[in-house]
Amino acid sequence: MSSVSRHINTTRLIRTYNASTLLQTLYRHGSCSRTQLAKLTGMSPATITRITAQLMEQGIVLEGKVGKSTGGRKPVYLHIDHSKLYIASLKLLRDDCRAALLDLKGNILEKKHLPWGEGPEQFLQQAVAALQAMFAHAGVKDQQILGVGVAISGICHPGEGKVIRSVNLDWVEVPVAELLGSALQVPIFIENDANACALAELWLGTARDAANSLYLKTEEGAGAGIISNKALLNGSHYMTGEIGHIPLIPQGQRCRCGQRGCLEPYVYFGDVQARYADKTGRQVTREQFLDLIRSGDGAALELVQETADALALACAHWSTLLDLDVITIGGFWGTLQNEVIKRCQDYCAATAKQSGLPCTVTITGSSFKNEDADLLGAAGLVIDRWFAPLSVPFRR
C-alpha cells in the first residue's frame, strides 16, 4: 500500500489535536525544524518527534534542507509534501458554475465551466463526470484527493452536507454531499459561498494574519463570511452573514425582495447595470462599465459613489460590531481601489475617530481573481477541515 493510500485511509491521525496543530503550523510557515515546531505549538520536543515520525511514515511530511548548527546537531527542516495530495473544488452560483483541481498551496491546476442541468441530480452527475475527467487528465488517483469543497450560493447545512435553500439555484433540501460522495468516494464539504471565500482569505489570502475578519461578497449578490478567532462563525440556522436583504439605507434603492435600502441592489452588478441603462438609455457590460469609470463618465461615477457609500456604511457597522481586523471586499467592487476601497477605509477611520472607539480595521480587495474566488473558497473549506485544530470552540 502506498504512503498516500495509508494517509487517506488513516485520517484519525491527522484529525488528532496534536497532528492537526503541527500540520497547521507547517502549512502556515512553509517549513520548520522540530525545535521551531515545539516553540510555535507549545508541544514538548518528545511529542513533536513522535508526531512527525508518524506523519513522515505516512508520507504526509518530508524532511528538507539542513540548517546551520548553533552548537548542537544541525536542524532539519520539515515540510508538507504538496505533490501527493490534492483538493477538488466546485462553485455553484447563479451565473457561473465551475469545477477545479488544486494543490494544497491553492494553485489551480485545471478548471472547467459546467453547463447548467435541468435539476440538481442531473447537474451534480455532470459535475462528477467533469471532476473524474480532471483527475484522469492530471494522473491523480482518488486516494490523493483530500476532499471536494463545494461553494454554493444559498443557505447550507455543512454538517448534513445539504443545501437547505438556494433561491438563486432554485434548490431546496438537496443532499449535495450524499449525491457527490456516493459517486466520487471522497470526503465532500459544502458551505455557503461567502463563508467559503472567507476561509480562502484566512488560509490563502488577505486575512492570513488576522484573528477576526469578514469577507464581503459582492457583484453577484451580497453576503458575508465571518471569521472569529480564526474560525468560521455559523449560527443555529446557518444564516450568519446573510446580510443582503437587511434594510441599511433609509428610503434607499428598491430591492427585489420588496424592501428599500437593502445592500443587495447596490452591489449586485445586474441591478447597477439596469440603473445605468435607466439613466442613459445604454446597456453596458462589466468591462464597458469599468472603461466608463476610468474615462470619468458622470452617470457611471454617480452609481459607483452610491455603491461605495453603501459599502462604507456597512463596513463601519460591522467593523465595530465584530471588532474586526480585516474586511475583504470581493467581486467587482473590490477591484476599485480609489473609488470604493479608499472610501470605505476613510469612512471607517472617520467614524471610529468621531466615536472615540479604539478600533482599527484594514479594508482591502480580494487576493484572488473574481472568477477564481469561489473555487479557492471551496478549497479553503477543505483545507480548514483538515488542518485546523479541533478544539476551536465554534461549530465547524
pLDDT confidence of residue 91: 93
Q: For residue 280, what pLDDT is reported?
A: 96
286-299: average pLDDT: 96
Please state whether 258 falls in left (phi above 0), alpha (psi between -120 and 50) or beta. Answer: left
The answer to whether 86-199+373-387 and 206-366 have equal CATH topology is yes
Whether 90 contacts 103, CB under 8 Å:
no
Which CATH class name applies to 206-366?
alpha beta
Asked whether residue 141 carries a pLDDT value surpassing 60, the answer given is yes
Please tell me the class of the 3-80 domain. mainly alpha
The pLDDT, as a whole number, for residue 14 is: 57
Question: How many angstroms separate the first and last alpha carbons of the chain?
Answer: 32
**Better-scored residue on pLDDT, 287 or 235:** 287
Neighbouring residues of 278: CB distance < 8 A, sequence distance ≥ 6: none
State the average pLDDT over residues 230-248.
87
Residue 146 phi, psi dihedral angles, 5° rounding: -65, -30
pLDDT of 324 higher than 90: yes
The grid coordinates of residue 214 equal 469578514
> What are the sequence ranges of the domains in the chain?
3-80, 86-199+373-387, 206-366
86-199+373-387, CATH topology level? Nucleotidyltransferase; domain 5 (3.30.420)
Q: What confidence category does residue 4 fall into, taking pLDDT thresholds of 50, 70 and 90? A: very low
Q: Is the pLDDT of residue 139 over 60?
A: yes
DSSP state of 323: T
pLDDT tens by residue, 255-265: 988 999 999 99
Radius of gyration of the chain (CA): 22
Can you give the pLDDT at residue 45?
93
C-alpha angle 193/199/204, rounded to 5°?
A: 120
Give percent of the chain with pLDDT exceeding 70.
93
Mean confidence (pLDDT) of the chain: 87
Amino acid at 58: Q
pLDDT at 163: 94
CA 1 to chain centre: 34
Distance CA 22, CA 11 (A): 15
Place of cell 472569529: 228
Tens of pLDDT, residues 82-112: 777 899 999 998 778 999 999 988 899 999 9
pLDDT at 334 over 50: yes
In angstroms, the CA 30 to CA 50 distance is: 20
213: closest CA among 299, 318, 91, 131?
A: 318
**Average pLDDT value for residue range 333-341:** 95
